[in-house]
Amino acid sequence: MTIPTKITNQTFLQAARGEVTDHVPVWFMRQAGRSQPEYREIKAKYSLFEITHQPELCAYVTALPVNNYGVDAAVLYKDIMTPLHGIGVDVTIETGIGPVIKSPIKTRQDIDALGSLDPQRDIPYVLDTIKLLTAEMLTVPLIGFSGAPYTLASYLIEGGPSKTHLKTKSFMYQHEDEWHLLMDKLADMVIVYLKAQIEAGVSAVQLFDSWIGDVSLIDYNRYIAPGIKKILAALEDSTAIKIMHGVHATHLLQEWNEMPLDVIGMDWRMSMAAARKQGITKAIQGNMDPAYLTAPWPVLEQELNRVLADGTTAPGYIFNLGHGVFPEANPAVIKQVTAHVQAYKSQNS
């Protein structure tokens, strides 16, 4: 992968590599879509799948926050279910529920029936969207992403979102061999998916393991880590930045710090300075509670300054939220937060 020459703002990439930057770079998970009026107009006419399958439209949605907010990175507008279609999973996104899987995984046969992903054949529109964005539209890096195997498996086994993930864990404990087979197949899919995104032009990839915080450290190392390590090993030769993000995952930070990845995403439950003191040496991305975007400006500003001071005790800091932007967030506030972060002067700089 070569970084497209159009990237004039490299701040995000520099921070991700642990380098000193002239300002704190900022992007927001779920910055594309949901809270933006331009997006809502599009969404009134097209379904999520219709948007993601039309490269011009999807590229427009992805670029919106860069143009409107002035963030330092774009993130591909895409649902984490996208690659599952390619391997033969019948998944729909239902309003007010989320992803719904028609035939949840119950047996080894169901796992054997999963196909392998051929990005050119199965999801050419993703690659075309990336090419459009990186060749023409963006002057900031584009971040691609994939759901991680545990989170994808939880949807496949539960059949949709779940508060407890009990079926997933029961399957894991009751059918360990089948579980590892499923993790391995999903890891292979994620590798192909992320390599294709990198080949098409993204400068960074983020593994979203949204539900991994529900798994204990012991279970993580036994049931989950092998798949993650396989993915990261397959990407090790790439110069693309690798970001790992989980929610409620404070107990996994040390494990991630030992893995071949560049950036650890943290949620708001733990102080980033405390993580540094406990030996976290990777770049850190985080960690304001997205609920603060609904706070009055003086309260929000105080929290922003606290988060910024907490994050900048060492080089390699990227401002983000601890989880995605809520649809309720005001775009004017997101823009104001972006400017505030970029104007912040660290006590240590």
Phi, psi angle pair for 64, to nearest 5°: -50, -55
Q: Can you tell me the distance from the alpha carbon of 189 to that of 163, in angstroms, rounded to the nearest whole number?
A: 26
Pick the piece of the chain touching a copy of itself (CB under 8 A) from 42-50, 53-61, 64-72, 294-302: 294-302
Q: Which residue, 76 or 329, has its beta carbon nearer to a copy of itself? A: 329
Structure token pair of residue 238:
């790439």
Assess 326 for contact with a copy of itself (CB under 8 A): yes
Among 50, 56, 176, 258, which residue interacts with a copy of itself (rule: CB under 8 A)?
Answer: 176
Residue 100 Cβ vs a copy of itself, minimum distance, rounded to whole Å: 17
Q: Can you tell me the distance from the alpha carbon of 25 to that of 14, in angstroms, rounded to the nearest whole number?
A: 9
Assess 292 for contact with a copy of itself (CB under 8 A): yes
Q: Is the C-alpha dihedral spanning 178, 122, 95, 62 positive or negative?
A: positive
Positions in 104-133 near a copy of itself (CB under 8 A): none
Q: Can you tell me the distance from the alpha carbon of 239 to that of 10, in angstroms, rounded to the nearest whole number?
A: 14
Q: Residue 56: CB partners within 8 Å, gap ≥ 6?
A: 132
User: With CB under 8 A, what is the number of residues at the site for a copy of itself?
Assistant: 33
Assess 268 for contact with a copy of itself (CB under 8 A): yes
Q: Which residue, 306 or 345, has its beta carbon nearer to a copy of itself? A: 306
16 is in an annotated binding site: no
Q: Is 98 helix (H, G, I), strand (E, B) or coil?
A: strand
CA geometry: angle 65, 195, 225, nearest 5 deg:
95
Q: Which residue, 160 or 213, has its beta carbon nearer to a copy of itself? A: 213
Assess 93 for contact with a copy of itself (CB under 8 A): no
Q: Work out the burial of residue 3: count CB atoms within 10 Å of its CB; fewer than 13 is exposed, 13-18 middle, 19 or more buried.
A: middle
Which of 116, 102, 134 is closest to 204 using CA atoms? Answer: 134
Q: Is 317 helix (H, G, I), strand (E, B) or coil?
A: strand
155 is in an annotated binding site: yes
88 is in an annotated binding site: no
17 is in an annotated binding site: no
Among 37, 96, 279, 296, which residue interacts with a copy of itself (rule: CB under 8 A)?
Answer: 296
79 is in an annotated binding site: yes
Pick the piece of the chain touching a copy of itself (CB under 8 A) from 71-79, 118-126, 183-191, 266-274: 266-274
Pick the piece of the chain touching a copy of itself (CB under 8 A) from 40-48, 144-152, 216-224, 228-236: 216-224
Q: Work out the burial of residue 120: count CB atoms within 10 Å of its CB; fewer than 13 is exposed, 13-18 middle, 19 or more buried.
A: exposed
110 is in an annotated binding site: no
Q: Which residues of 308-346 are buried (b: 16+ CB within 10 A; e: fewer)?
A: bebbbbbbbbbbbbbbbbeeebebebbebbbebbbebee
Assess 137 for contact with a copy of itself (CB under 8 A): no
DSSP 324: P
Q: Which residue, 281 or 294, has its beta carbon nearer to a copy of itself? A: 294
Among 217, 233, 332, 339, which residue interacts with a copy of itself (rule: CB under 8 A)?
Answer: 217
Residue 98 Cβ vs a copy of itself, minimum distance, rounded to whole Å: 10
**Pairing relationship of beta strands 283-288 and 317-321 according to DSSP bridges:** parallel
Assess 328 for contact with a copy of itself (CB under 8 A): yes
Query: What is the contact surface with a copy of itself in residues (CB under 8 A)?
Result: 163-166, 169-170, 173-174, 176, 213, 216-219, 248, 250-251, 268-271, 289, 291-292, 294-296, 299-300, 303, 306, 326, 328
Q: Which residues carry a binding-site annotation?
A: 30-34, 49, 79, 155, 210, 323
Q: Which residues carry a binding-site annotation for substrate?
A: 30-34, 49, 79, 155, 210, 323
